Amino acid sequence: MAEVILENICKAYGNNFRAIDQLNLSVEDGEFLILVGPSGCGKSTALRMIAGLEDITSGSLRIGGVDVVDMPPKDRDIAMVFQSYALYPHMTVFENIAFSMRLAGKPKAERKKRVDEIAKTLQLTSLLDSKPANLSGGQRQRVAMGRAMVREPAAFLMDEPLSNLDAKLRVQMRAEITSLQKQLGVTTIYVTHDQIEAMTMGDRVAVLKGGVLQQVDTPKRLYESPVNAFVAGFIGSPSMNLFEATMTGDELMSGTFAIRLQEAAFVRRPGLRSFAGRKVVFGIRPEDLYDSSLESGRKYQTIPAKVTSIEELGSEHIVHLNIDAVRVDSGDPDAVDDFGLASNAVARFEPISAVHSGAEIRLAVDDAKFHFFDPETHLAI
């Protein structure tokens, strides 16, 4: 068994700044867990603390049932893949992969056998005599994986291993790492700031913000039921649209429009009634907004909107709109403010949509897909 259990882990720096605050996380044997969050949220620090490259200020960390807080990295039975890969440029691929075995004094024949096996798995056999400088980004990435695999560790730790690759290769390596992890069945903790990696690769995803764990769940549940506005805004691309509105009876009032909520919304969220007459934050994902002139949008209520710009991606149109409502900031420091002066909402329309920039349209909204958050605490209602 090689589960990784973090209990009340804290990392404090001299001036009482807490990079990690009371982190509790339990990664099961063989699980692929993603640590995700905006830059500076403490995800890499957390990973480095698990690896033993950073001291743990307080809390307990167990790997495979053993308390490793005071152990040096080499005794923790982990292997790490670095963002930069940290391949030794003066060593060949073979020497890089075999390095830990060489340090451990393993005989040459054993080293060769093991490295050959790994090279075969990773399709590196023909490259074993090459130096890292002569490899492509994807090949280097695989060598870094090989170097981690050779140790047969209880857990893999990966620190943004795909961030140095170009977009196409990243998609390919995403699939390769996922299938490799399933094949090896080794507990893996993977740090990324890319929520697409988080959503596609992990069994579960832990979202961090400001050193505090926000939510740990399967990608699907994270997407469907975010616990707060931050997770709602962070997970999903383009981000969820968050607006302020006033609850009046069973209607959401904002500026010049009102949206009637169905009874089901209140049944699912008993707390919502208590916001009657008060402000509430509601969120809607771009794919739950429709062009009302198309078949797909006919069955929903509509609100007025002005199209400010359109990104035609072929498979869909990302439509930037302005609606008469106050946008709410999810608190993601990395969020690109694509809401220029004129636009405060994003929708995904089918490519057959004929809306054009500058048009005044009726925007169909699927109110059954609304998310509600407390305007004070930003917690989900």
Partner 1 sequence: MTRQKRSHHRLKRAVAPYLYLSPSLLIIGLLMLLPMVTVIGYSFQNSAVLRRDPSFAGLKHYHAIFADPEFWASLWHTLYFTCMSVIFHMTIGMVFALMLNSDRINPTLRNILRVLYILPWLFTAVIIAVIWRLLLEPNGVVNSVLMQMGIIGSKVEWFSSTATALHAVTFANIWAGYPLFMVSLLAGLQGIPKDFYEAADIDGAKAYQKLIFITIPQLMPIIISISLLDFIWTMQVFPLIWITTGGGPIYSTEVLSTYTYKLAFSSYNLSQASASAVVILLISLGLTLFYIRYQKAR
Sites of contact with partner 1 (CB under 8 A): 51-53, 72-74, 78-80, 82, 84, 86, 88-91, 99-100, 103-104, 147, 151
Tell me whether residue 48 or residue 348 sits nearer to partner 1 (CB atom). 48
Q: How far is the CB of 48 from partner 1 (least distance, A)?
A: 8
The tokens for 370 are 């609304």
Judged by CB, which is closer to partner 1: 82, or 327?
82
Name the one residue in this structure whose structure tokens are 């440029």.
89
Helix axes 167-184 and 137-149, enclosed angle (nearest 10)? 20
CB atoms under 10 Å from CB of 287, counted, come to 14
Q: From the CB of 19, what's the least distance to partner 1, in Å?
A: 17
Alpha helices in 152-210 (DSSP H): 167-184, 195-201
Residue type at 153 in one-letter notation:
P
Closest approach, Cβ 99 to partner 1, in A, equals 6
For the chain, what is the radius of gyration of the CA atoms? 24
Closest approach of partner 1 to the CB of residue 182, in Å: 24
Angle at alpha carbon of residue 68, lines to 66 and 74, rounded to 5°: 110
- Nearer Cβ to partner 1 (104/175): 104
Q: Are 341 and 275 in contact (CB under 8 A)?
A: no
Q: Which is nearer to partner 1, 58 or 84 (CB)?
A: 84
CA distance 97 to 99: 6
**Which lies closer to partner 1 via its Cβ, residue 52 or residue 283?**
52
Judged by CB, which is closer to partner 1: 47, or 207? 47
Joined tokens for residue 97: 């992969």
CB of 65 to partner 1, least distance (A): 20
Q: At what angle do helices 93-103 and 137-149 cross, to 10 degrees?
A: 20
**100 or 296: whose CB is closer to partner 1?**
100
Cβ-contact 232, 225 below 8 angstroms: no
* Dihedral (Cα; 67, 68, 71, 75), 10-degree rounding: 110
Q: How far is the CB of 160 from partner 1 (least distance, A)?
A: 12
Please tell me the distance from the alpha carbon of residue 96 to that of residue 179, in angstroms, as a whole number: 23
Residue 179 CB, shortest distance to partner 1, in Å, is: 24
